Amino acid sequence: MSHLLDQLNTQQRTAVEHSEGPALILAGAGSGKTRVITYRIAHLIGAKGIPPESILAVTFTNKAADQMKERVAHLLSDSLESWPHISTFHSFCVRVLRRNIEGALPGYTRDFSIYDEDDQARLVKTIVNELGLGEQAASPRSLLARISYAKNRGLAPQDLYRQAADAATEKLATVFERYERKLRQANALDFDDLLLKTVELLYAAKDVCERYNQRFRYVLVDEYQDTSRIQYQLIRQLTLIHQNLCVVGDEDQSIYRWRGAEIENILNFERDYPGARLIRLEQNYRSTQVILDAATAVVSRNRARKGKVLWTDRAGGARVGLYEAQSADEEAFFIAAEIQRTLAADGDATIAVLYRTNSQSRLFEEALRRLTIGYRVVGGFSFYERAEVKDLLSYARLATNLRDSAALLRVINTPARGIGDTTVQSLQASARRANLSLWEALEQDLAAKLLPARSLRVLENFYNLVSELAAARGQMTMSGFFREVLERTNYLETLRAEGTPEAESRIENLQELVNAAAEAEDRGETLAEFLDHAALVSAADDFEERARVTLMSLHSAKGLEFSVVFLAGLVEGLFPHKLSMDDDAALEEERRLCYVGMTRARDRLILTRGASRRSFAREDYETSPPSRFLREVPSELIETLNLAMTGVKPRTTWENAVSSRADIERFLRERRSNAWNPGSASAGAGETTRSTSRWKLGSPVRHPKFGLGTILGCEGEGEDSKLTVSFPGYGKKKFVEKFAALEKI
DNA sequence: CAATCCCATTTTTTT
DNA sequence: AATGGGATTG
What's the mean pLDDT in A32-59?
92
Q: Report, in ranges, which bases of strand C sit under 7 Å from a protein C-beta.
A: 1-3, 5
What is the band of A263 on the pLDDT scale with cuts at 50, 70, 90? confident
- 3-state SS, A598-649, equals HCCEEEEEEEEEEEEEECCCCCCEEECCECHHHHCCCHHHEEECCHHHHCCC
Q: Nearest nucleotide to A537 by CA–C1' distance? A: B15
pLDDT, position A237: 96
Q: Which of residues A567 and A313 earns the better pLDDT score? A: A567
Query: Cα separation of A28 and A598, whole Å?
Result: 13
- Per-residue pLDDT tens over the stretch A640-655: 988 654 333 332 333 3
Q: Quick one: which residue's CA is nearest to B4's C1'?
A: A731
Q: How far is the CA of A731 from the C1' of C9 (A)?
A: 15
Q: Which of residues A619 and A597 earns the better pLDDT score? A: A597
Note whether A499 and A729 are within 8 A (CB): no
pLDDT, position A620: 67
pLDDT, position A98: 95
Q: Is the torsion defined by CA of A470, A473, A479, A484 positive or negative?
A: negative
Q: How far is the CA of A459 from the C1' of B1 (A)?
A: 14
Q: How far is the CA of A123 from the C1' of C6 (A)?
A: 20
Q: How far is the CA of A245 from the C1' of B4 (A)?
A: 60
Note whether A530 and A478 are within 8 A (CB): yes
Angle at A339 between CA A617 and CA A255, to 5 degrees: 65
The mean pLDDT of chain A is 83
Contacts of A52 (CB under 8 A, 6+ apart): A45, A80, A81, A82, A83, A84
Positions of A marked catalytic = 33-34, 222-223, 253, 600
Q: Nearest nucleotide to A736 by CA–C1' distance? A: C1
What's the mean pLDDT in A583-605?
94
Note whether A56 and A91 are within 8 A (CB): no
Q: How far is the CA of A549 from the C1' of C4 (A)?
A: 35
Query: Cα separation of A693 and A717, whole Å?
Result: 11
Reply yes or no: is the peptide bond before residue A157 cis, omega within 30 of 0.
no
What's the mean pLDDT in A63-76?
88
Distances (CA, A) of A214 to A207, A217, A243, A419: 11, 6, 11, 53
Q: Quick one: which residue's CA is nearest to B13's C1'?
A: A555
Is residue A734 predicted with pLDDT exceeding 90? no
Q: Quick one: which residue's CA is nearest to B11's C1'?
A: A359
Q: Nearest nucleotide to A618 by CA–C1' distance? A: C1
What is the band of A570 on the pLDDT scale with cuts at 50, 70, 90? very high
Contacts 24+ apart (CB under 8 A), A690-695: A690/A744, A691/A718, A691/A719, A691/A737, A691/A738, A693/A744, A695/A721, A695/A723, A695/A737, A695/A744
What is the band of A236 on the pLDDT scale with cuts at 50, 70, 90? very high
pLDDT, position A179: 93
**Composition of chain A by helix, strand, coil, percent to 5:** 50, 15, 30
What's the mean pLDDT in A345-359?
92
pLDDT, position A693: 36
Which one-letter amino acid corresponds to residue A722? K
Q: Which of residues A598 and A729 earns the better pLDDT score? A: A598
Q: Quick one: which residue's CA is nearest to C3's C1'?
A: A387
pLDDT, position A602: 95
Note whether A206 and A197 are within 8 A (CB): no
H runs (alpha helix) in A51-88: 62-75
pLDDT, position A681: 27
Q: Quick one: which residue's CA is nearest to B2's C1'?
A: A420
Query: Cα separation of A300 and A308, whole Å?
Result: 10
What is the band of A538 on the pLDDT scale with cuts at 50, 70, 90? low
What's the mean pLDDT in A502-507?
82
What's the mean pLDDT in A308-331?
90
Q: Nearest nucleotide to A387 by CA–C1' distance? A: C3
Q: Nearest nucleotide to A122 by CA–C1' distance? A: C4
What is the band of A100 on the pLDDT scale with cuts at 50, 70, 90? very high
pLDDT, position A166: 79
List residues with CB under 7 Å of strand C: A 125, 387, 616-617, 736
Q: How far is the CA of A700 from the C1' of B2 (A)?
A: 33
Q: How far is the CA of A129 from the C1' of C2 (A)?
A: 24
Q: Quick one: which residue's CA is nearest to C4's C1'?
A: A122
- Per-residue pLDDT tens over the stretch A425-439: 889 888 988 999 999
Is residue A614 predicted with pLDDT exceeding 70? yes
What is the band of A299 on the pLDDT scale with cuts at 50, 70, 90? very high
pLDDT, position A654: 33
Q: Nearest nucleotide to A140 by CA–C1' distance? A: C4
Q: Which of residues A418 and A542 earns the better pLDDT score? A: A418
Q: Nearest nucleotide to A739 by CA–C1' distance? A: C1
- Per-residue pLDDT tens over the stretch A147-161: 998 998 889 999 888
- Per-residue pLDDT tens over the stretch A359-395: 898 889 889 988 989 888 887 777 788 888 889 999 9
Q: How far is the CA of A734 from the C1' of B6 (A)?
A: 13
Q: How far is the CA of A734 from the C1' of B7 (A)?
A: 15
Q: Quick one: which residue's CA is nearest to B10's C1'?
A: A616
What's the mean pLDDT in A27-45?
92
Query: Cα separation of A562 and A603, whole Å?
Result: 8
Q: How far is the CA of A451 from the C1' of B1 (A)?
A: 13
**Residues linked to residue A437 through DSSP beta bridges, in sequence order:** none
Contacts of A270 (CB under 8 A, 6+ apart): A24, A276, A278
Query: Cα separation of A2 and A19, whole Å?
Result: 15
What's the mean pLDDT in A699-709?
53
What is the band of A719 on the pLDDT scale with cuts at 50, 70, 90? very low
Q: How far is the CA of A588 from the C1' of C1 (A)?
A: 33
Q: Nearest nucleotide to A575 by CA–C1' distance? A: B12
